[in-house]
Structure 1
Amino acid sequence: MKIVKRIVFALWVGVLLFCLVYAIYHPQFFTAEGLQTFFQQFEQHILLVYLLLSIVRGLALFPSTPFVIAGSLLFPHQPLMVVVISMAGILFSAVLIYYFSQFMGFDAFFQRKFPHQILKVRKRLNHRYGFFYVLGWAFFPLVPTDIVCYVAGTIRMKILSFLAAIFLGELILVNLYVYGSSFLFSWLV
């Protein structure tokens, strides 16, 4: 088991380092327009590539917003599909962080980078209104959802309650992104 953990950790670190180096040399790639251009290279399999990248992006702790907006640009006539794929990626990332933070080294990263926020979130999640706190956190676009997922996993918040809160909060936000960007882009073009 220890060797598997080391291999998975090495792969994860490798993916993170690749993304970091690529982001340094090609920062335009990680914008909605850059992602749209990338996806268009795989025109035959664009939906599959979009689905896979939406799911895998959580391994790099990369925010979902650029992927959601890129999906809106790529599939302007299929907003429901963009919402479904985006939500699948968000929920997959949430479960991954909830269950495997320690295994993948996220715990050390979050504790080092956000020590005060972790304590505040832990206190609020242990409150009887923890569900609503997670829901609000997931809805608010300026805070990384990964932190609340990590803390919920460390305190072992009930998984169904946690996922329901993430789902509801993110569903509202993703719909605003998808339908709002579709409206905005149709209005601009």
Structure 2
Amino acid sequence: MILAYTYRGGVLMKNIVFSAVVLSTFFIMLSEKITATTIACAMIVAVIVTMLNKDRLSHFNYIELKVLHKWMHFIMVLFKEVVISNIQVAIIVLSKDMKLAPEIVRFESKLSSEVMRTVLANSITLTPGTMTVDISDKELWVHCLNGDYKDGLTELVLEDILHKIEGDLHG
């Protein structure tokens, strides 16, 4: 069963509502306080953004139930990686002798979908100490705060999860 049903180029209300709920939830999570005003603003902004992007949502098929649990796993692993990286960067910054060795590394992705490569690039950028500078075909150029971080790029758990999601969706 698919949550994002489409018909002849049109978007069903279910897809729009789901997207608006996800966006408003994200908006509320980023808010300092949860008030009636915050919730109202979140819903209004989410509906406006969703309606402005409804043409893009008609091709949106990344919310199939069979991969929803994999997306949840991806989010949990990303959260864990962000926390670990935060601690590592804090240790570097707070140490007396900051051992920084910035480096730009070329990384070859095994993901075939442009959307999935963009999700991976944004995930790398969200992780402290690394930032995706450029994406060219399957190549990602990543700035690492320390040379040791480039070793983590070769064994990206996040890419493996995205690759499994991609396989389920297109496979």
Give the TM-score normalised by the residue count of structure 1. 0.26
Structure showing greater Rg: 2
Higher-helix-fraction structure? 1
